Amino acid sequence: MRRTAALTALLVLVPGLLLWRWPRPRALGLARLLPQTALLQSFPASPQRAIPALWSQRLGSPLAERIWRQQRRIWWQFWGRDGDGGPYLAFAAPSSQPVPPLGLRVDDLVVVAPDPLSQRLLQDQLKLSGRQPRGLEQRCLQRLQQEQAVFWSPLGLGLLAGPMAPLLQRFQEGCLSLTLQGSNLAMEGEASSTSGILARPGRLAPLPGLEPLPADLLLEWRGPALEGVLQGLLSRQLIREPLAARYGIGEGQLALLGSAPFALRLRPVSKGPFQASLELELQVGANRKPWTQLLSTLVPAIQTQGLEATSSGSPTLPATTWLRQDGQVVAGWRWLLPSSGPPRLLLFLGPQPPLLAQPLPKVSQSGPALTSPTLTSPEMAAAMVLRARPQALARLGLLPTELPLPLQQSGQLDLVAFQPAGRGRALASPLSQLMGRLQLQQARRPVR
């Protein structure tokens, strides 16, 4: 009996002593801050490196120098949900350390605001909110406490992506861990189309090998169902009503479009009135009748805009091209016949695109399996694949200027979004797991 009691005491006391002697580094105040942020970034302490500009701006040179050299843990910068002020600075500090001007203490953290108004706003929000992060937010919090990472809320995504935000509805809240690997910045994390989701992700498949983006493409976005792109746009009544009233595209037609696997491409145009052309290629299945009916409903509405149609191709696979009065091609559609499988439909805005022969995703009962890349995880079978040349897009003014500078200057972005395999709908789950890489200009750490 004495031996049992002694063993029990040993099992309880030893771990407790170890935790007391070597406590796990935690930022308790970060859990309170996270619900109040639009965008939050974490950085590992690097006291041997130059002082970041944000530290000097918020603390002044002498104080920033002293506190920066003492840092041994993660530090953070974040933007509040009001979306107007500059970034806050947050770092771990003992309770004996004085709070600097425009600063406030949040548990074990010191937070320095960009201005007095931002300081008061954050202080009031922290008093009113007692919500603790859960689900996706909790997992993101763990990343932000342990490694270099970034978290965004729906507001943060809107601020960064600007007019592109509705196309990214599936990723409106999430986080990414960032790791420098030579001249590439590796990214891994998760995102959701629903804020505050509690669901847990499945097992993550390894990042597939992606083919280099062809030289004649600025962007290519492939996915198992177009609803992943249309979701944010069609949630706006301002867009749904004109589609139905002017073009005859109602709920049935939208469901047809949303279920189709797709490839969205952006090509540069070297001359003429367009900087780039946009292509949308759809896998329509063996039954083309509902698609031909959809296209026929568009014809009268397009003609009312002063455009003229020319037809070509075969009777079974016709093509329609729309021209302005000066003869400039501005849009059109054509049917494509692959070497195997059903026909595909290509819609375009701008000049006529080259003939495309690359196959689209094949749909199976458990979700799509892309011909390239191949997904190996049975739990995460569906995927969206985005490949882009951010620097080339920025040069043409086609990239939101609010995006981080390393992203705007990168040669190529590869991002794969895995979704849990569902029954019936390819994108049944609102949760996505993200993996990707960013080709940086030089082999250096991300700019802060």
Alpha-carbon distance of 46 to 225, in angstroms, equals 44
**Cis amide bond preceding 373, omega within 30:** yes
pLDDT confidence of residue 199: 64
Alpha-carbon distance of 230 to 232, in angstroms, equals 6
Of 28-37, 306-315, 409-418, the poorest mean pLDDT is in 306-315
- Answer yes or no: is pLDDT of 15 > 80: no
Break the chain down into helix, strand, coil percent, rounded to 5.
Answer: 30, 25, 40
- Answer yes or no: is pLDDT of 295 > 60: yes
pTM of the model: 0.83
- pLDDT band at residue 58 under the 50/70/90 scheme: very high
